[in-house]
Amino acid sequence: MSSTSSSQMVQLVADKHVRYILMAEKKKESFESVVMDHLRMNGAYWGLTTLDLLDKLGCVSEEEVISWLMTCQHESGGFAGNTGHDPHILYTLSAVQILALFDKINILDIGKVSSYVAKLQNEDGSFSGDMWGEIDTRFSYIAICCLSILKCLDKINVEKAVKYIVSCKNLDGGFGCTPGAESHAGQIFCCVGALAITGSLHHVDKDSLGWWLCERQLKAGGLNGRPEKLADVCYSWWVLSSLIMIDRVHWIDKAKLVKFILDCQDLDNGGISDRPEDAVDIFHTYFGVAGLSLLEYPGVKVIDPAYALPVDVVNRIIFTK
Amino acid sequence: MHGRGRNEASKPEETAAKALELRSLQSQFMSNHHQKIYTQEAIQLSAKLLGINPDAYTAWNYRKLALVSRINDDSDPSLVNSIIDEELGVVKKALDRNPKSYEAWYHRNWVLSKKGRYYTSLENELQLLNDYQKQQLVNDYQKQDDRKHDNLRNFHAWNYRRFVVELTETSAEDELQYTNMINDICFSIYSVWHYRSVLVSSLVAKKADGFMPKETIRRELDYVHNAIFTDEVKQSGWFYYLWLLDQTVKMETPLRFSSWPSDGSIITTFCSEFGSFPLILYFDQAVSGVSSSTVTIDSELNGKEDLVWEPVSDNKNSQVDSCVWVARLKFDSREPCFSRKEYKVKVSLGGIFSSRGCNLTAPYEFVFTVLNTVGESSQQGIVSWTDGFDNWDDAQSKYLNSLIALNADTGFE
């Protein structure tokens, strides 16, 4: 990405996004916020990771975040989306990732959390989201990513987990949520990420998948998640990180994608939306900034495509006991 | 979170009131949930909450707990049916609000997988799904014409469909007909082409009537041509076309194989008076049907006993397809026929097919020699099957040594 810019080229308004995230945290009683109450743990992960990518994690009170986070832990070891809600693997990963950002994984009873996740593995290698049994390759990725961060991958049957993921591979080279389900960029990210973390990328047909993924780029430069759908900033993450993990990112036009993401910013109030002129939210703000990180946009820290955490955080995890 | 205009702000007083109502519902619900209260009133409250916020996953968990508390295996069937109806009604309202709610779709799946066999209206479920998928959206905010088929693009509905198809034991042939019907409505729904590829593959793999590989691929190629000519700009048909072409290329490729021992090789048996060694066939595609009727051994060694061929795979079932097949060829130097030093073994293959329909283009055979050297030392130029590389001749050893030297220089492991 060249550093020369014409007066017409939009830039990343990082400070506005930081302010947007910090303000959103305070607007807890808006309708939009109340409706998302149950997934506050995910929202916190999206907001905090974005802040860290923009090197502004210090703007939040670590103590406040962590003390709230711990109220979300269930006696089973799993974490809920918010205080009082039921535990689920989705929020357990976000909780672990947030603690990783603050370098505070050590406050966890790692045995308890990892057992909660490991017990969700089924006989065929798949993972359920919680005790109610929904199966989806999203949960395979979450379990593998979470246990890898906690250094407890040996608590699950990795071989069977990989076998199940491979059984979800489709004839177009992509992956779905269960065997037979159609390819979708989000599921592809989850499956490719899980295979990357377990050293099993040789199962991926990189050329077929790479082609299916690069075909997600539309004329305006944005990416969609499946054929015939509209472009959406969140696919700048799901598609892009997948392409990077299979060494095919040069198959898309990076400059055009950068322009699409920048055009989705609310230049006045901060935040990024799914597509230009739509309402902004934390979810798309995170994926827009994360996408720009993968595209090596200046001023944004490098993010790991498999762990979805800044690389310095991942290095800290890998290189300490 | 998706598709809302930036300046579509509602009046602040309205949103504040809505937020307060939802907050109050949520608190009451949480209280009921933590105290395990499953009265009619409490259950209806959870339904109200889910109607406003279909993604409130804890409320779906609560409803599952409530169902389990109200019915068990001995419950009156009419009670079970009415409760199932109630749950499916809540799911429908939730899906009207958010057709992409993972939790709502899963709840429907969970209720029917728990109690589906008691449900008298189960056969309606597929029809309901058909109606849902074919429904054309005419809401004002559907700005683009092709968004009217968005129900057909809803992958949750297709996943749920596969669950219902399995539950009702609907045939793959019937489902293929359904994809024909959908394609008549709109040719550019990727989900349909994907489903079609799964159905066609499974019918070919099962060797169903009318689904032999070559005829199926040719028929599908004709079919997809229609889609491409109707709307060549849309991608979906093209991806299916690419997949069909790939299958065609794979089918036209002849099946190839190699063996151990290979054609013209010499095997030395010198360690024991009797024993066996493996006969290995390796194919470049997974095949089935390797047995003593398709692989014949012509040798005095084998005697009258048929060889037992086993696939090398996780699945020990001999019907499974595998690229590698192994049998053990026995020898016994105490047998009168084993008095000679040298035996030729001729192996002939025929009638073996891969799952793609490829076969060996002609009967194939290979011949190797077995040398009996009980008590004697080995000779030069012979590959010993017991000792690995020790008995390679000088030329072969020099080559191997130079390879090892190369590794040391470059530091490769």
Q: CA of B127 to nearest chain A CA: how many angstroms apart?
A: 20
**Residue A237 annotated as binding?**
yes
pTM over 0.95: no
Nearest to B15 among A30, A37, A266 (CB): A30
- pLDDT bin (cut points 50, 70, 90) of residue B407 is very low
A 132-191 near B (Cβ less than 8 A): 132-134, 136, 170-172, 176-178, 180-184
> Are residues B58 and A38, on separate chains, in Cβ contact within 8 Å?
yes
User: What letters, b where the CB count within 10 A reaches 16 and e where it falls short, cover B8-42?
Assistant: eeeeeeebeebbeebbebbebbbebbeeeebeeeb
Q: What are the chain A neighbours of B158 within 8 Å (beta carbons)? A: 181-182
Q: CA of B95 to nearest chain A CA: how many angstroms apart?
A: 16
Q: Residues near A3 by Cβ (< 8 Å), separated by ≥ 6?
A: A298
B102's tokens: 């993972």
Q: Does A205 touch chain B (CB under 8 A)?
A: no
A 48-77 near B (Cβ less than 8 A): none
B227-261 pLDDT, tens digit each: 888 877 788 888 999 999 988 877 667 778 888 88
A71's tokens: 């109220």
Average pLDDT over residues A140-157: 97
Best mutation target, B61, B62, B194, to test chain A (most A CBs within 10 A): B194
Average pLDDT, chain A: 94
Separation CA B9–CA B345 (nearest Å)? 85
Q: β-strand B266-269 against B364-372: which pairing, if any?
A: parallel
Q: How many CB atoms lie within 10 A of CB A219?
A: 7
Written as one letter, the residue type at A27 is K
B257-288 pLDDT, tens digit each: 888 888 888 887 755 566 778 889 998 888 88
Q: What is the ipTM of this complex?
A: 0.94
**Residue A119 annotated as binding?**
no
Helix (H) or strand (E) segment spanning residue B108 = helix B102-115
- Closest-CA residue in chain A for B50? A35
Q: What are the chain A neighbours of B34 within 8 Å (beta carbons)? A: 84
Three-state SS for B343? Answer: strand
Average pLDDT over residues B55-72: 94
Q: What are the chain A neighbours of B201 within 8 Å (beta carbons)? A: 171
Q: Does A274 touch chain B (CB under 8 A)?
A: yes
Q: Where are the alpha helices (DSSP H) in B135-169?
A: 150-153, 155-167
- Closest-CA residue in chain A for B158? A181
DSSP B269: E
Three-state SS for A28? Answer: coil
Separation CA B264–CA B208 (nearest Å)? 41
Which has the closest alpha carbon to B261: B339, B329, B351, B341? Answer: B329
Average pLDDT over residues B282-297: 85
Q: What is the pLDDT of residue B339?
A: 56
> Are residues B18 and A274, on separate chains, in Cβ contact within 8 Å?
no
Q: What are the chain A neighbours of B191 within 8 Å (beta carbons)? A: 182
**Residue A236 annotated as binding?**
yes
> Domain extents for chain B?
12-252, 257-410
Three-state SS for B197? Answer: helix
Name the CATH code of domain B12-252 (choices 1.10.10.60, 3.40.630.10, 3.30.2000.10, 1.25.40.120): 1.25.40.120
Written as one letter, the residue type at A55 is D
> Are residues A172 and B201, on separate chains, in Cβ contact within 8 Å?
no
- Provide the CATH number for the domain formed by B257-410 in this structure: 2.60.40
Average pLDDT, chain B: 80
Q: CA of B245 to nearest chain A CA: how many angstroms apart?
A: 12
Which has the closest alpha carbon to A222: A247, A245, A240? Answer: A240
Average pLDDT over residues A240-263: 97
Q: What is the pLDDT of residue A248?
A: 96
Separation CA A246–CA A201 (nearest Å)? 8
Which has the closest alpha carbon to A161: A184, A130, A135, A185? Answer: A135
Which domains does chain A possess? 12-317 (1.50.10.20)
